Chains A and B, each alone.
Chain A
């Protein structure tokens, strides 16, 4: 289903939970609403479902405004954070609920439920009650129950939050695969960026009720549009005055400009390893942390602590060691705007051809 949202606003008392949110979602896409807790993601999802009424704005499904439609008539499936399974019904009855309400025939209900039981790998559990299932199984039941009446849009509120880390990983790929197979437009809420990046076709970053950026995970990572997105996605170090860094002098036209530097923007090593030695800074290795597959290195450059990763294949560094640091690029921002800046000294200003 094609979903469009225009000028959405929601207040809870004095709290402005959702501020003027606009977006549109292409049919069949899997969208992640990502942002810190209390940022308004769940409110947006609940308004799409009709469980909450917007103060202003329009919600349009298939070109038709649904603001005045109750949740019963929106053709959506909703998976709650704690699944909200009907605890006095068996797995079968839970999944069959939506079909029974729609007065489907007994055999149609049976066929559809068995199909979903098969699809979600719950075969053999039909007669169990929710309290006899594990967290992962409950999530599958919630998912099957939401899918049973063949909704056009699937909404998932923190679908993996209540599941332990190991199973969460499995469920993520399972869910992504399943949604692709069913081909249903889906929106899920999460505060976990790894989850959003791994599962979603497109991410919408929501912060303090505002939609900060919408795009593919790669686009958002590569080109964050706002400082919040830059800090929220990936790791980064903040430098208060970017002009202090070599290769970034004179940026921002003299205005105070801050820089965010990602670990992968930084290269460290001994001086002779760099092609353009003049672009490097001198730093001191402060700390080394073993991260399983690589070293996390903290280096101090002109009083700033920068963080980068270093391959285990390279020489092992020692704390206190002098080292050359090259900052390839930085995400810069000031009060007016923000942009990505390459190190100005990296390109040889006077290439000499021998």
Chain B
């Protein structure tokens, strides 16, 4: 009986994770290495991977910066009323609860060409929706809670006394942050960065709505895979997907390593 359960568990694991991964790899190489290479060397594939790369970089930089800042304010700032803090704190989790597609839609409604704000930016010559800024904003929306939620518990745990001690020793905010706070939160920040990178690499729904999926312009790796599948170009889809999956596995390994470091500290 017990063996049966163990067997079943392995079977499910195989069917859900190992088999699809294997099948995807096989289809990527179904026309040999050349086929895989051709799929990636298509101009639209290179452009899509580049777009994904840009989105990841921009989103990670912004999310890290503002995530750390918001976490600091939510935990440390005495000048924010506790009620307002509670409200902000729950709003941070909104992207977890809302489907990314809806998140994308909200951005289109707010900043789309038909909206007042969108028109304003358009007049200034900045296109937001159906262009790179919109895609970055949409991905930022989806990834926003990741950094805040990693850093906040660590800040709460270390408490403010070390920072207060630094201030009585003559250190001002900036010195205190780099010398006292940062060494305590850095592993949490690195973990948050990895989560953000992973999430923005794989983001599909929000980006699809906001980007309009225009080939060689606003198409990202995930939306290209979607389009390739729609066009029954399974080999090409497999190739791009394999590249994304390889990145994800790498991030996963990195994540395990950081998690261990984080616990040590």
Stretch at the interface among B39-47, B51-59, B178-186: B178-186
Give the CA-CA distance A72 to B171 in the complex, in Å: 6
A80 sits at the interface (CB 8 A): yes
Most buried by A among B161, B168, B172: B168
Chain A residue at minimum C-beta to C-beta distance from B82: A13
- Of the listed residues B167, B172, B184, the one surrounded by the most CB atoms of chain A closer than 10 A to its CB is B167
Q: A101 near B171 (CB under 8 angstroms)?
A: yes
Q: Is the CB of A80 within 8 A of B170?
A: no
Given A84-B161, A84-B162, A86-B162, residue A71 in contact with residue B179 (CB < 8 A): no
Q: Which B residues from 147 to 172 make CB contacts under 8 A with A?
A: 159, 161-162, 164-172
Q: Which residues of B contact A77 (CB under 8 A)?
A: 168-169
Interface pair A84/B170, CB less than 8 Å apart: no
Chain A residues with CB under 8 A of B180: 86
| Structural contact, A84 and B179, CB atoms closer than 8 A | no
B175 within 8 A of A: yes
Q: Is the interface of B mostly helix, strand, loop or mixed?
A: helix
A149 touches B164 (CB 8 A): no
Q: Given A86-B180, A88-B183, A72 and B172 touching (CB < 8 A)?
A: yes
Contacts of A146 in B (CB 8 A): 168-169
* Number of B residues, CB within 8 Å of A: 18
Tell me if A70 is interfacial: C-beta within 8 Å of chain B.
Answer: yes
Say yes or no: B168 contacts A101, CB within 8 Å.
no
- Asked whether A76 is an interface residue with its Cβ less than 8 Å from the other chain, the reply is yes
> Contacts of B175 on A, CB cut-off 8 Å?
101
Give residues of chain A (174-232) contacting chain B, Cβ–Cβ below 8 Å. none
CB distance A49 to B179 under 8 Å? Answer: no
- Residue of B with least CB distance to A155: B168
CB neighbours (8 Å) of A88 from chain B are 183-184, 265
B124-159 with Cβ < 8 A to chain A = 159
- Report Cα–Cα, A145/B180, bound state, in Å: 14
Interface string of B232-244 (1 = CB under 8 A from A): 0000000000000
**Chain A nearest CB, measured from B95 CB (Å):** 32
Contact in complex: B170, A72 (CB < 8 Å): yes
Q: Which residues of B contact A86 (CB under 8 A)?
A: 162, 165-166, 179-180
CB <8 Å contact, A49 and B162: no
A78 touches B164 (CB 8 A): yes
**Are B167's CB and A51's CB within 8 A?**
yes
Pick from B164, B172, B183: contact of A80, CB below 8 A.
B164
Which residues of the other chain, A, contact B161 by a CB distance below 8 angstroms? 80, 82, 84
Most B-side CB within 10 Å, residue of A82, A88, A146: A88
Q: Given the complex of chains A and B, what is the CA–CA distance between A87 and B265 in angstroms?
A: 9
Minimum C-beta distance from B263 to chain A (A): 14
Determine if A102 is an interface residue (Cβ-Cβ < 8 Å): yes
Q: How far is the CA of A149 from the CA of B167 in the complex (A)?
A: 12
* A interface list, Cβ under 8 A from B: 49-51, 70-74, 76-78, 80, 82, 84-88, 97-98, 101-102, 145-146, 148-149
Chain B interface (Cβ within 8 Å of chain A)? 159, 161-162, 164-172, 175, 179-180, 183-184, 265
